[in-house]
Amino acid sequence: MESAPSGTDRSDALNEDPEENGELRLRPGAPMPLGAVARGDGVHFALYSSRATQVWIALFRGVRDKTPDCEIALDPAAHRMGHVWCVHVEGLRPGALYCYRADGPHDPRHGHRFDPHCYLVDPYARIVVDNREGGLPKCQVPHDAPVSDGASRPRVAPEDAIIYETHVKGLTAHPSSEAAEPGTYRAVAEMADYFKDLGVTTIELLPVQECGEPVLKRQNPLTGEHLTNYWGYSPLNFFAPAGRFASQGGEGEQWSEFRAMVDALHRKGLEVVLDVVYNHTSEGGAGGPVQSFRGIDNALYYLLDSKGAYLNYTGCGNTVKCAHPVVGELIVESLRCWARHLRVDGFRFDLASVMNRGKDGHLQQNSPLVERIAEDPVLQGVKLIAEAWDVGGAYQVGAFGTPRWADWNGRFRDDVRRFWRGDMGSKADFALRLTGSPELYQPHDRAPQNSINFVTAHDGFTLRDLVSYNEKHNEANGENNNDGSDHNISWNCGVEGDTDDPEVNELRARMQKDFLATLFLALGTPMLLGGDEFGRTQEGNNNAYCQDNPTSWCDWGLMDRYSEIHRFTKAMIRFRREHPVLRRTEYFTGAPCGVNGEPDLAWFDPWGAPLAWEDPELCLACMVDPSQNDGVGLYMMFNPTLVAREFFLPPQPWRLRINTARPSPNDIVSAEDAPAVSSENRFVVGRKALAVLTASGEEGA
């Protein structure tokens, strides 16, 4: 073996200077549980490695230290059971800082990349400290989990959920934020009243698992500033809450502060869902750093080809071997930890189709791991949401896992955008999205709420940018505008970027309302991108993963400028709650129902005739029978064209609730204030607008 890094071997120093170092003694350990756990008079360590020939535990005195105070060399004869290296260190206490080192074969062609010079993060560590530029990430032995303050879990039914996707730091980091500690878990907790007032039920946070490569090796060519791994989709560890969002920057306080944030949101009846990344790690491809998994058991943790090269189904250089039982156990234990000890209410799995890939990388329909997560007793009651694709060509939307799983409906995003852009041939797909995407989900025994509907998300344009840019503008990312999707299905309303033209700005506001109204009128579970409710912009950057600056942060100063969008969003959420048919858990059938034998849902063209789907006419309308909506009939009209269109209405008294062509506050009104529609049973829907009518006399009684 090559010489070890500097530091004293603890096996030779057990009785050295006990007043300064404490007196540590080694006792045989047990193979379970994996990780570092404080027990009685010491700490128990257990690390799985099927190929390591030698393992050391490096102990550090201070959070910022780069060399250990001492090291413990584990004896293979005394401290290894099967493939688990385990020892009980008597005299060590909670809060102790440690890393591993491991030696073994360095044979990349056979998948082995051991390097005894590298300090390694424990895959089961609950807390990681000093994970910053120039720092050395270390693990901290956890204290007892903080006692719950008694806040009960909200348990929002999927059909009632309204998801708000946001970033812990970006939510409050902007100077316009009034947070006491901007960019932290504590600041998210301070936003609870805002979320409740808006009407959302579930806060979905971009990754909070501790990530690697905090600072990227390039600069913003426009400003010269260093670019960072802002989104956090490069996990270093699957258990540890990210220290960069804690009040002291991550010196151990992150665990309790994350838990306090969750409890504070729970007290307001808000759920917390985490965007989790189990498909790849920050160690990247063959030229990446040795930080944890690669130096512990590379061939076990990653998908490799026959020559030891990394299979890349993630676009990030490596792919986690989820099909291996040891790796699957790690993932399940991580989820249990977040759900049980940190009390989160659900998970959105990034590139979840990777979990359906076997050990050889081939795609399966329903892997044992995906089924195990759905059936795990600890995870019952938590929301499971899949991003049901990967960059290797998998696309499993509507068919991912069992009916316990919901998934991001990428078809909803694309088809709704096409329709409102005015693409020919888009109305049939738009109608399917509005009615819960039955052709995607129903054949697989899914209900409408299994579809997570969204128009925008962190990855892509914001809603304001969707109607302001035809092309991406990612020059600030330092990749010559080659990163990010070119398939945005956007329309700039005639001018690229910001403009003072009042006509263009009026049209952009109208189209933002169209998208918001469609999102909340559609069957399924709506997801709102944080900041879309008040016109947040990234100035055309559709891949702001590295922009830890005002480009990505929520500028709360926009609330005044775009107050009508904010008001409209709140009112649309209220409208959705008023009408149970929008939250129904069964698909429409078109079959007769109610006392008059009318269909539960019927489609019409602008002339009031049954809709001919092959007709190139884009405008369409639908009527929901009152029997499906607590006695309230709905008539929805959609005009994605650039000219106003007259619609002929069914002959009954109607009142106007929503009309995106009208200026605020008349764009959406309460049932009590809704004006009656002319008795001529005709209604003009403005260009690029929608309108919703309700049956007169049935609502608000």
Q: Please, how many CA atoms are within 13 Å of residue 680, restricted to the half-sphere of its CB?
A: 6
pLDDT at 565 over 50: yes
Confidence (pTM): 0.95
* Residue count of the chain: 701
Task: Tell the CATH superfamily of the 8-140 domain.
Answer: Immunoglobulins (2.60.40.10)
- Place 146 in a pLDDT band, splitting at 50, 70 and 90: low
Which pLDDT score is estimated for 6? 34
* Burial group, residue 11, by CB count within 10 angstroms (0-12, 13-18, 19+): middle
Number of Cβ within a 10 Å radius of residue 188: 27
Query: What is the model's pLDDT at position 134?
Result: 86
- pLDDT tens digits for 303-323? 999 999 999 999 999 999 999
Fold of the domain built from segment(s) 163-461 = TIM Barrel (3.20.20)
The reported pLDDT for the residue numbered 637 is 98
Interacting residues of 380 by C-beta distance below 8 A, sequence separation 6+: none
Domain 589-695 CATH superfamily: Golgi alpha-mannosidase II (2.60.40.1180)
DSSP string, 88-123: EEET--TT-EEEEEEE--EEGGGTEE--TTS-B--T
The whole-number average pLDDT for the span 665-693 is 95
pLDDT band at 11 (very low <50, low <70, confident <90, very high): very low
What's residue 538's pLDDT? 98
Q: Same fold for the domain at 8-140 and the one at 589-695?
A: yes
Domain coordinates of the chain in residue numbers? 8-140, 163-461, 589-695
Looking at residue 73, what is its pLDDT? Answer: 97
Phi, psi of 481 (to 5 degrees): 60, 20
If phi > 0 it is left, if psi is from -120 to 50 it is alpha, else beta; for residue 554 that is beta
Scan for tokens 């890349």, then name that residue. 312
Helix (H) or strand (E) holding 506: helix 502-521
d(CA 636, CA 582): 12
Place of tokens 């120093």: 13
User: Which active-site residues does the annotation give?
Assistant: 350, 387
Model confidence at 696, pLDDT cuts 50, 70, 90, reads low
User: What is the band of 679 on the pLDDT scale with cuts at 50, 70, 90?
Assistant: confident
Which pair of structure tokens corresponds to residue 460? 């892509």
Q: Which amino acid, one-letter code, is at 153?
A: R
pLDDT at 159 over 90: yes
Residues of the chain with pLDDT > 90: what percent?
90
- For 563-624, strand residue ranges (E) read 592-593, 598-599, 601-604, 620-624
The Cα–Cα gap between 29 and 78 comes to 9
CA distances from 170 to 143, 162, 167, 355, 448 (A): 29, 20, 5, 29, 31
pLDDT score of 145: 59
